Structure 1
Amino acid sequence: MTAPSTDPTPQAITVHEQSRVLEVSFSDGATFRIPFELLRVYSPSAEVQGHGPGQEVLQTGKRDVTLVGLEPVGHYALRPAFSDGHDSGLFTWAYLYELGRDQEQLMQEYERRLAAAGKDRDAPMPVRASGGCSSH
């Protein structure tokens, strides 16, 4: 028999469309307001993270992305659908907690990576050539 998880779990999840944030209140009392842009650029999907270290795809043009859907996945995750068509990321409770807790540092890292690539948050995403991972 396995021990019950002690990781915080969401007690309330609210989509704030006007301010474009997902508010998540956890069982340990923490409440985070996670910007949709941050959720999108740090999506755990293979389309964003790649299939291994060093294969991450820098996301651009996501500042104004919105949520068009939010689907629960079992008792462990959410699958958001974004206005740019992306809907393949499964955000576990632990990952949502991490994004909320670390959002300031993650946003700074994202902006550093954009600057290093000579891009900005509003630059359009390049069109990918066919032949890539067709399952995303």
Structure 2
Amino acid sequence: MTKNTPIPKEINLHQKSRVLELTFDNGEHFELSCEYLRVYSPSAEVRGHGPGEEVLQVGKADVNIDKIEPVGTYAIQLFFDDGHDTGIYSWDWLYHIGKNHEKLWQTYLDKMEKAGEKRAPTS
């Protein structure tokens, strides 16, 4: 975290609509779906250990967050209902994926299409 990193002053989980609402101390406000947060998890399981090792997350359209726990004064840990609970969502990371939501979401959708995968879970 840099000294210029905005810090969330409000974090609200709306489980019914599956949205995490973040308001940062610089006035920026983001509403991020649980699916988006899950597919952009900062965990090694999702991002890999280096470039090109990312694992495309499929079938996460219905994922929700069961609970949120603080990690020090710099991050939160999200516990998803699909069992995923690794990865620390730092203020830097949350701000980055909030600020770049449109571009990152489109990148994800493009990767899904190219892979012939679906966002909806398979039975």
Coarse TM-score class (shorter-chain normalised) = over 0.9
Gaps spanning 5+ residues in structure 2: where? none
Assess, with a 3 A threshold, how the Cα gap between structure 1 residues 117 and 123 changes in structure 2: closer, same or farther: farther
Q: CA deviation at 1:6?
A: 2.2
Deviations 1:1-38 (A, max 9, x none): xxx81211010100011111100100100010011101
Distance 2:5 2:103 in 1: 22
Determine what percentage of the aligned residue pairs are the same residue. 49
2:48 partner letter? G
Question: Hey, which bits of structure 1, 4+ residues long, moved more than 4 A?
Answer: none
TM-score after normalising by structure 2: 0.94
TM-score by length of 1: 0.86
Matched residues in 1 for 2:57 and 2:121: separation? 9
Opposite residue 14 of structure 1, the aligned amino acid is: N
Give the secondary structure class of the aligned counterpart of 2:5. Answer: coil
CA apart distance, 1:117: 0.6
The structure 2 residue matched to 1:115, chosen from 101, 110, 113, is 113
Any stretches of 5+ residues in structure 1 without a counterpart?
125-136
Q: Which residue of 2 aligns with 1:48?
A: 46
Q: Does 2:47 align with 1:28?
A: no
Of the candidates 27, 32, 37, which is equivalent to residue 39 of structure 1?
37
CA contact (8 A) 1:16 1:22 kept: yes
Deviations, residues 60-117 of structure 1 (Å, cap 9, x unaligned): 0100100011010000001000000000010000110111111111111001000111
Higher-Rg structure is: 1
Report what 1:87 is aligned to.
85
- C-alpha contact (below 8 Å) 1:111/1:120 kept by paired residues: no
Give me the CA root mean square deviation.
1.1
Aligned equivalents of 2:116 and 2:4: distance in 1? 42
